[in-house]
Chains A and B, each alone.
Chain A
């Protein structure tokens, strides 16, 4: 009943049309091997689009760099305590005028342990950030969103805003193993959605959370800019792990440039 009411309120013709265009392999009940279901995804897609348009007033640059089909790794900076950046990048790609597609966001491993949230995220296309999941998805020609900073990025305090944390090398190994282009993304604005003074680590540990921010218990309506860079490709040969790290640094530098671009164009944080 509530679901039907929310659907009638949020699911617009645009969302219906974009989802209808998206082709996914699915079983006899419409679910794929990770739990994505086009029918179930309508409501989360529509609610995300509502907040994308009216709350965060997202502006995108270079969205045409995300190919309309074929495997791609979308690599972005992570911030804001909650996975709002992943939600907004996913919404931008799902509603792209250059070819809508249902991206798969790699999420933190603790999300599936949270009642309702894990199921909801799976139905909307998100999966836990595991290299096996990522490999299988790239082989199925999916667009996969990865935040190589992980919780180091999302959980950092506000005084470290827009300072990129260490990137893991895993995404570069996957890029090379599956001959996948990387589209770098600089996210500006998410740092201001939930400014944090730090984390209550002891309580977080007791609750089984990766961090517990000291922050207002609300998401602030910061304006968000998503700047997508040109696809980057890398050859598959390498001798040492340092070679991989060097390539990761190239992606990181590009994301840093895209963040700078977004910050320089920003006229106000909330208005």
Chain B
């Protein structure tokens, strides 16, 4: 495509994979809020706060025609307020700049967490299912708000051609999300009496999904998930984790244990996700983009078995 593609969160493993695929035929601008990405002289790299005024300078300096927004402050990286500022206000700035400077392709990486883990969830949630997460835990308010914001811009500014992807658990080399950290541990908490069904997508398949969504330009919202499922506790066994049983009742005790064990070991926002399944129907994305994950669950689990913290 003519013009450059701005990739946010460029320091992350997923963004690096996406950039390595894109850079063969496209000019890339790499930005990250954590540290300045390192891609050599061919790719302009910036460390930038999305809420700062200097962020706009990147749009002034480069002819940005496409944006792949992968940069999100994770739940264990900052306070709730700071996360909200960066993920919601920062994304709003990104979308405003995109509109102002004539960007015509925007891809936003969201998450399946926005659906929320609730005992009443049916299986195979479609993209039209309600986003319950913010009503269940305040730690996911920013994720839902980011989605709402993207949705407003999707319809208010159709020329931006916004695509929102809601993937299931992304896992594999370099991924540092909460679930990946749990799978990497020797001793991993489980809720006594619960083993919810889960879906996992290998990082390389997720990178491929992003490429397909960005290049095929079919704006809208898409779940990204394989047609393969495994209960959490079975997944831990496959990953070589020992299970640490945590009493599931009463609820206040679980949150106290979460505090005792530490946020990274046992994040409290994940408690319901370790009790109730949130299973996505990824048929729409698979059909429209002819997407078929290449890496089986066994391949993902083998990685964690061989790479313990």
Q: Is B289's beta carbon under 8 Å from chain A?
A: no
Instruction: Decide: B230 and A31 in contact? CB cutoff 8 A.
Output: yes
Tally of chain A residues near chain B (CB < 8 A): 26
A118 to chain B, nearest CB (A): 7
Cβ < 8 Å to A, chain B residues 186-222: 191-195, 197
Instruction: Decide: A132 and B193 in contact? CB cutoff 8 A.
Output: no
Instruction: Decide: A29 and B230 in contact? CB cutoff 8 A.
Output: yes
Tally of chain B residues near chain A (CB < 8 A): 27
Q: Is B35's beta carbon under 8 Å from chain A?
A: no
- Give bound CA distance, A117 to B193, whole Å: 8
Instruction: Decide: B296 and A127 in contact? CB cutoff 8 A.
Output: no
Task: Specify which chain B residues have a CB less than 8 angstroms from the CB of A118 in the assembled complex.
Answer: 119, 193-194
Instruction: Decide: A136 and B123 in contact? CB cutoff 8 A.
Output: yes
- Give bound CA distance, A33 to B282, whole Å: 12
Q: Mark A99-110, 1 if CB is under 8 A from B, else 0.
A: 000000000011
Q: From the candidates A33, A115, A117, A119, name the one contacting B123 in the complex (CB within 8 A).
A: A33
Nearest-neighbor residue (CB-CB) of A29 within chain B: B230
Instruction: Decide: A29 and B122 in contact? CB cutoff 8 A.
Output: no
Task: Specify which chain A residues have a CB less than 8 angstroms from the CB of B195 in the assembled complex.
Answer: 119
Q: Is B259's beta carbon under 8 Å from chain A?
A: no
Task: Specify which chain B residues have a CB less than 8 angstroms from the CB of A115 in the assembled complex.
Answer: 191-194, 248-249
Task: Specify which chain A residues have a CB less than 8 angstroms from the CB of B276 in the assembled complex.
Answer: 112
Q: Is B298's beta carbon under 8 Å from chain A?
A: yes
Task: Specify which chain B residues have a CB less than 8 angstroms from the CB of A27 in the assembled complex.
Answer: 226-230, 297
Q: From the candidates B120, B124, B194, B249, name the one contacting A33 in the complex (CB within 8 A).
A: B124
A37 to chain B, nearest CB (A): 9
Task: Specify which chain B residues have a CB less than 8 angstroms from the CB of A132 in the assembled complex.
Answer: 122-124
Q: From the candidates B124, B277, B297, name the one contacting A28 in the complex (CB within 8 A).
A: B297
Task: Specify which chain A residues have a CB less than 8 angstroms from the CB of B227 in the assembled complex.
Answer: 27, 33
Task: Specify which chain A residues have a CB less than 8 angstroms from the CB of B248 in the assembled complex.
Answer: 115
B241 to chain A, nearest CB (A): 16
- Give bound CA distance, A112 to B193, whole Å: 10
B254 to chain A, nearest CB (A): 12
A133-B296 contact in complex given A112-B276, A115-B249, A119-B195, C-beta closer than 8 Å: no
12 pairs from A and B in contact (CB 8 Å cutoff): A27-B229, A27-B297, A31-B231, A34-B197, A35-B197, A35-B277, A112-B119, A114-B193, A116-B193, A127-B123, A132-B123, A136-B122
